[in-house]
């Protein structure tokens, strides 16, 4: 069965707004988790991750603010798979993602927090990987690559913390 290449335009402001929301959600989670973390090393890690997510959100917000309303990501897509994936992200309510995060109360364990953090980073990696594959504009692609590298580093740091602190999965 042959493949077809579709030229697709996604509204870049919408995609960037989603990226801002994702990063702000992660920042809030990491800040809240850090405030409740007794272990100083894990608290420091979570604070650093919150700061990085804040910087990502600011980057995407600046990008979003610099666009005209009709701006689009021009990309090519084999069989519409990447477009469908990105559209799912655009239409999935962020409230659902926030509901999946553990409550940051006294009952939240390090394991709960690290597990949720790893899940968030994995989802961010998947999102930015799809976006990187889709975007043709080199300047935007470079932004995506920098954020993607940070998200991968976060996932690596979380896994290292799991092993270092002998957190059971």
What are the pLDDT digits (tens) for 79-119?
566 666 666 665 564 545 555 565 666 677 888 888 888 88
- Write out the residue range of the structural domain in which residue 117 sits: 5-164
The secondary structure of the chain in percent helix, strand, coil, rounded to multiples of 5, reads 70, 10, 20
**What does the pLDDT look like over 25-65, one tens digit per residue?**
889 989 988 988 888 988 999 999 999 999 999 988 888 88
Instruction: Please compute, for residue 77, the number of CA atoms within 13 A of its CA located in the half-sphere on the CB side.
Output: 21
Region 74-78: mean pLDDT is: 53
Q: How far is CA 71 from CA 85, 131, 137, in A?
A: 20, 16, 12
How many separate domains does the chain show? 1
CATH code (residue 29) = 1.20.1260.10
Residue in the block written with tokens 């999102």: 127
Confidence of residue 1 (pLDDT cuts 50, 70, 90): very low
Q: Is the pLDDT of residue 156 over 80?
A: yes
Residue 169 in domain: no
**What does the pLDDT look like over 110-143, one tens digit per residue?**
888 888 888 889 888 988 888 887 777 787 788 8
Q: Is the pLDDT of residue 169 over 50?
A: no
What local confidence, expressed as pLDDT, does residue 15 receive?
75
Instruction: Please compute, for residue 120, the number of CA atoms within 13 A of its CA located in the half-sphere on the CB side.
Output: 32
What local confidence, expressed as pLDDT, does residue 49 receive?
93
Residue 109 in domain: yes
Residue 117 in domain: yes
| CA 153/CA 156 separation, integer angstroms | 5
Residue 75 in domain: yes
């Amino acid at each position: 069965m042959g493949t077809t290449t579709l030229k697709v335009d996604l509204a870049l402001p919408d995609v960037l707004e989603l990226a801002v929301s994702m990063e702000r959600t992660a920042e809030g989670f990491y800040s809240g988790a850090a405030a409740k973390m007794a272990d100083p090393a894990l608290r420091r890690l979570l604070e650093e991750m919150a700061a990085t997510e804040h910087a990502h959100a600011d980057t995407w917000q600046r990008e979003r603010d610099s666009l005209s309303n009709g701006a689009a990501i021009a990309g090519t897509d084999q069989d519409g798979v990447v477009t469908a994936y990105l559209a799912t992200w655009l239409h999935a309510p962020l409230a659902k993602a926030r509901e999946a995060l553990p409550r940051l109360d006294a009952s939240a364990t390090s394991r709960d927090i690290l597990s949720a953090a790893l899940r968030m980073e994995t989802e961010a990696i998947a999102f930015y990987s799809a976006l990187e594959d889709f975007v043709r504009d080199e300047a935007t692609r470079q932004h995506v690559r920098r954020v993607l590298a940070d998200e991968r580093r976060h996932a690596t740091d979380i896994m290292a913390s799991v092993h270092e602190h002998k957190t059971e999965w």
